[in-house]
Structure 1
Amino acid sequence: MSKKLVLIDGHSILNRAFYGVPDLTNSEGTHTNAMYGFLNIMFKILDEEHADYLTVAFDLSAPTFRHKLFEGYKGTRKSMPEELRQQVPLIKEVLKAMNVTIIEKEGYEADDLLGTLAKSGESIGLDVSLISGDRDMLQLATQKVKIRIPKTKKGVTEVEDYNFKEVFELYGVTPTEFIDIKALMGDASDNIPGAPGIGEKTASAIIQKYKSIENAYANIEQITPNKAKTSLSENYEQVQLSKVLATIDTDAPIDYNIDDATFNNLYTKESYELFKKYNFKSLLKKFDSEIVSTEPEVYKQIKILSELSDIENAFSAMEKAEHIGVFFAYEDNQLFGASFTFASKEKLSLYIPIQGFINEGYLIGKIADLSNMIHNKKNKLIFLNLKEQLDVLKDCEFDMLTDVGLAAYLLNPLKESYLFDELGRDYLKLSLPTKADILGKLGFKEAAFVNEEALSKYACLSSYVIYNAWETIEDELKNSNMLELFETIEMPLLFVLYSMQKEGIMVDKEGLKIYGDKLQIRILELEKEIYELSGTEFNINSPKQLGVVLFETLQMPNGKKTKSGYSTAADVLEKLAGEYPIVGKILEYRQLTKLKSTYADGLSSYIGEDGRIHGKFNQTITATGRISSTEPNLQNIPIRMELGREIRKAFIAKPGCVFIDADYSQIELRILAHMSGDIKLIEAYNSEQDIHRITASQVFHVPLEEVSNTQRSNAKAVNFGIIYGISSFGLSQGLSISRKEANEYIEKYFETYPDIKAFINGLVEDAKEKGYSTTIFDRKRPIPELSSSNFMQRAFGERIAMNSPIQGTAADIIKIAMIKVYEALKDNKLKSKLILQIHDELLVETYEDEVDQVKKILKENMLGAAKLLVSLEIDMNEGKNWFEAH
Structure 2
Amino acid sequence: MSSDKKTLLLVDGSSYLYRAFHAMPDLRVVPGDPSSAATGAIRGMINMMQSLRKEVPADYAACVFDAKGPTFRDALYPEYKANRSPMPDDLRSQIAPIHEVVRLLGWKVLDVPGVEADDVIGTLAVTAANQGIEVIVSSGDKDLSQLVNEHITIIDTMNGKKRDVAGVTAEFGVPPALMVDYQTLVGDAVDNVPGVEKVGPKTAAKWLQEYGSLDALVARAGDIKGVAGENLRKALEWLPKGRELLTIKTDCELDGYVDGLPAMDSIAIGDQQMEALTAFYEQYGFKGLVRALGGNAAQAQPAVPAAAKPKRATQAAGPSLFDEPEEAPPAAAAPEQATSTLAYDTIFTWQAFDHWLAKIEAAELVALDTETTSLDEMLAEIVGISFSVTPGAAAYIPLTHDYPGAPEQLPQGEVLARLKPWLENPAKPKLGQHVKYDRHVFANHGIEVQGYAHDTMLQSYVLEVHKPHGLASLAERHLGRSGINYEDLCGKGANQIRFNQVDVAKAAEYSSEDSDQTLDVHRVLWPQIEANDKLRFIYDLEMQSSETLYRIERNGVLIDAPMLAKQSGELGARILQLEAEAYEIAGQPFNLGSPKQLGEIFFDKLGMPVVKKTATGARSTDEEVLEKLAEDYPLPAKLLEHRSLSKLKGTYTDKLAQLADPKTGRVHTHYAQAVAVTGRLSSNDPNLQNIPVKTAEGRRVREAFVAPAGSVIASADYSQIELRIMAHISGDEALLRAFKEGLDVHRATAAEVFGVSVEQVSSEQRRYAKVINFGLIYGMSSFGLARNLGIETKAAAAYIDKYFQRYPGVKQYMDETKQSAKSKGYVETVFGRRLYLPEINSPNGPRRSGAERAAINAPMQGTAADLIKLSMVKVQQVLDAEKRGTKMIMQVHDELVFEVPEAEVAWVKTEIPRLMAGVADLKVPLLAEIGVGENWEKAH
Matched residue count: 795
Is the contact between residue 381 and residue 401 of structure 1 (CA under 8 Å) also seen in structure 2?
A: yes
Give the direction of change, closer, same or farther, for the CA distance of 1:720–1:91 in structure 2 (3 Å limit).
Answer: farther
Separation (CA, whole Å) in 2 of partners of 1:679 and 1:867:
17
Is the contact between residue 58 and residue 109 of structure 1 (CA under 8 Å) also seen in structure 2?
A: no
* Aligned with residue 255 of structure 2, among 230, 233, 249: 249
Show the counterpart of 1:851: 905
Separation (CA, whole Å) in 1 of partners of 2:390 and 2:158:
53
Amino acid at match of 1:737: I
* Aligned with residue 920 of structure 2, among 856, 866, 870: 866
Show the counterpart of 1:711: 765
Give the direction of change, closer, same or farther, for the CA distance of 1:853–1:450 in structure 2 (3 Å limit).
Answer: same
Separation (CA, whole Å) in 1 of partners of 2:916 and 2:383:
42
Show the counterpart of 2:795: 741
Question: Residue 566 in 1 paired to residue 619 in 2?
Answer: yes
Question: Residue 813 in 1 paired to residue 818 in 2?
Answer: no
Is the contact between residue 541 and residue 869 of structure 2 (CA under 8 Å) also seen in structure 1?
A: yes
Give the direction of change, closer, same or farther, for the CA distance of 1:117–1:665 in structure 2 (3 Å limit).
Answer: same
After superposing the two structures, state which structure 1 stretch, 428-437 or 392-401, moved more: 392-401
Give the direction of change, closer, same or farther, for the CA distance of 1:312–1:169 in structure 2 (3 Å limit).
Answer: closer
* Aligned with residue 273 of structure 1, among 302, 308, 330: 302
Normalized per residue, which structure has more helix? Answer: 1
Separation (CA, whole Å) in 2 of partners of 1:92 and 1:160:
35
Separation (CA, whole Å) in 1 of partners of 2:581 and 2:123:
71
Is the contact between residue 479 and residue 521 of structure 2 (CA under 8 Å) also seen in structure 1?
A: yes
Separation (CA, whole Å) in 2 of partners of 1:115 and 1:882:
65
Amino acid at match of 2:364: E
Note the 1:804-843 alignment, pairs <5 A: 804-843=858-897
Show the counterpart of 1:503: 555
Question: Residue 336 in 1 paired to residue 383 in 2?
Answer: yes
Separation (CA, whole Å) in 1 of partners of 2:574 and 2:178:
65
Higher Cα radius of gyration: 1
Amino acid at match of 1:328: T
Give the direction of change, closer, same or farther, for the CA distance of 1:738–1:597 in structure 2 (3 Å limit).
Answer: same
* Aligned with residue 423 of structure 1, among 463, 471, 474: 474
Q: Percent identity?
A: 30
Separation (CA, whole Å) in 2 of partners of 1:390 and 1:533:
53
Is the contact between residue 444 and residue 455 of structure 1 (CA under 8 Å) also seen in structure 2?
A: no
Is the contact between residue 104 and residue 110 of structure 1 (CA under 8 Å) also seen in structure 2?
A: no
Question: Residue 158 in 1 paired to residue 155 in 2?
Answer: no
Deviations 1:669-720 (A, max 9, x none): 1001100100100101111121111111110111211211111111100111
C-alpha displacement of 1:261: 5.7
Is the contact between residue 323 and residue 382 of structure 1 (CA under 8 Å) also seen in structure 2?
A: no
C-alpha displacement of 1:543: 3.4
Show the counterpart of 1:695: 749
Is the contact between residue 384 and residue 397 of structure 2 (CA under 8 Å) also seen in structure 1?
A: yes
Give the direction of change, closer, same or farther, for the CA distance of 1:550–1:101 in structure 2 (3 Å limit).
Answer: closer
Show the counterpart of 2:62: 56
Amino acid at match of 2:513: L
C-alpha displacement of 1:384: 3.7
Separation (CA, whole Å) in 1 of partners of 2:878 and 2:622:
47
Show the counterpart of 1:516: 568
Show the counterpart of 1:552: 604
Separation (CA, whole Å) in 2 of partners of 1:510 and 1:168:
65
Show the counterpart of 1:645: 699
Show the counterpart of 1:386: 436
C-alpha displacement of 1:409: 2.0
Separation (CA, whole Å) in 2 of partners of 1:89 and 1:655:
71
Question: Residue 403 in 1 paired to residue 465 in 2?
Answer: no
Q: Normalization by structure 1: what TM-score?
A: 0.77
Give the direction of change, closer, same or farther, for the CA distance of 1:873–1:282 in structure 2 (3 Å limit).
Answer: closer
Give the direction of change, closer, same or farther, for the CA distance of 1:450–1:155 in structure 2 (3 Å limit).
Answer: closer
Show the counterpart of 1:635: 689
Is the contact between residue 630 and residue 637 of structure 2 (CA under 8 Å) also seen in structure 1?
A: yes
Separation (CA, whole Å) in 1 of partners of 2:926 and 2:13:
56
C-alpha displacement of 1:410: 2.2
Is the contact between residue 725 and residue 799 of structure 1 (CA under 8 Å) also seen in structure 2?
A: yes
Separation (CA, whole Å) in 2 of partners of 1:104 and 1:41:
18
Amino acid at match of 2:481: L
Is the contact between residue 813 and residue 866 of structure 1 (CA under 8 Å) also seen in structure 2?
A: yes
Amino acid at match of 1:343: T
Separation (CA, whole Å) in 2 of partners of 1:698 and 1:167:
66
After superposing the two structures, state which structure 1 stretch, 28-37 or 299-308, moved more: 28-37
SS at match of 1:787: coil
Separation (CA, whole Å) in 2 of partners of 1:159 and 1:872:
64
Amino acid at match of 2:432: I
Is the contact between residue 112 and residue 252 of structure 1 (CA under 8 Å) also seen in structure 2?
A: no
Note the 1:159-558 alignment, pairs <5 A: 248-251=254-257, 262=268, 272-276=301-305, 300-331=342-373, 332-343=379-390, 347-354=392-399, 358-371=410-423, 375-376=426-427, 379-392=429-442, 395=447, 398-415=450-467, 418-440=469-491, 447-448=499-500, 451-478=503-530, 483-558=535-610
Is the contact between residue 558 and residue 665 of structure 2 (CA under 8 Å) also seen in structure 1?
A: yes
Is the contact between residue 138 and residue 157 of structure 2 (CA under 8 Å) also seen in structure 1?
A: no
Q: Normalization by structure 2: what TM-score?
A: 0.73
Give the direction of change, closer, same or farther, for the CA distance of 1:576–1:147 in structure 2 (3 Å limit).
Answer: closer
After superposing the two structures, state which structure 1 stretch, 859-868 or 524-533, moved more: 524-533
Give the direction of change, closer, same or farther, for the CA distance of 1:367–1:404 in structure 2 (3 Å limit).
Answer: farther
C-alpha displacement of 1:270: 7.9
Deviations 1:418-463 (A, max 9, x none): 3322221011111223111234359999554551011101111101
Give the direction of change, closer, same or farther, for the CA distance of 1:399–1:283 in structure 2 (3 Å limit).
Answer: closer
Question: Residue 12 in 1 paired to residue 54 in 2?
Answer: no
Amino acid at match of 2:628: K
Amino acid at match of 1:359: P
Give the direction of change, closer, same or farther, for the CA distance of 1:260–1:631 in structure 2 (3 Å limit).
Answer: same
SS at match of 2:687: coil
* Aligned with residue 795 of structure 1, among 849, 854, 859: 849
Amino acid at match of 1:870: V
C-alpha displacement of 1:11: 2.5
Show the counterpart of 1:211: none
RMSD of aligned residue pairs (Cα, Å): 5.2
Any gaps of 5 or more consecutive residues in structure 1? 173-186, 191-204, 206-226, 229-242, 285-295
After superposing the two structures, state which structure 1 stretch, 544-553 or 84-93, moved more: 84-93
Give the direction of change, closer, same or farther, for the CA distance of 1:381–1:153 in structure 2 (3 Å limit).
Answer: closer
Separation (CA, whole Å) in 2 of partners of 1:788 and 1:302:
46
Show the counterpart of 1:79: 87
Separation (CA, whole Å) in 2 of partners of 1:624 and 1:383:
21
C-alpha displacement of 1:748: 1.3
Separation (CA, whole Å) in 2 of partners of 1:635 and 1:479:
35
Give the direction of change, closer, same or farther, for the CA distance of 1:532–1:7 in structure 2 (3 Å limit).
Answer: closer
SS at match of 1:883: coil
Deviations 1:814-856 (A, max 9, x none): 0110001111111100111000111011111000111122223
Give the direction of change, closer, same or farther, for the CA distance of 1:816–1:108 in structure 2 (3 Å limit).
Answer: farther
Give the direction of change, closer, same or farther, for the CA distance of 1:438–1:871 in structure 2 (3 Å limit).
Answer: same
Is the contact between residue 814 and residue 865 of structure 1 (CA under 8 Å) also seen in structure 2?
A: no
C-alpha displacement of 1:772: 1.9
Is the contact between residue 10 and residue 137 of structure 2 (CA under 8 Å) also seen in structure 1?
A: yes
Amino acid at match of 2:562: E
C-alpha displacement of 1:41: 6.5
Separation (CA, whole Å) in 1 of partners of 2:559 and 2:891:
16
Amino acid at match of 2:689: Q
After superposing the two structures, state which structure 1 stretch, 657-666 or 567-576, moved more: 567-576
Separation (CA, whole Å) in 1 of partners of 2:866 and 2:613:
44
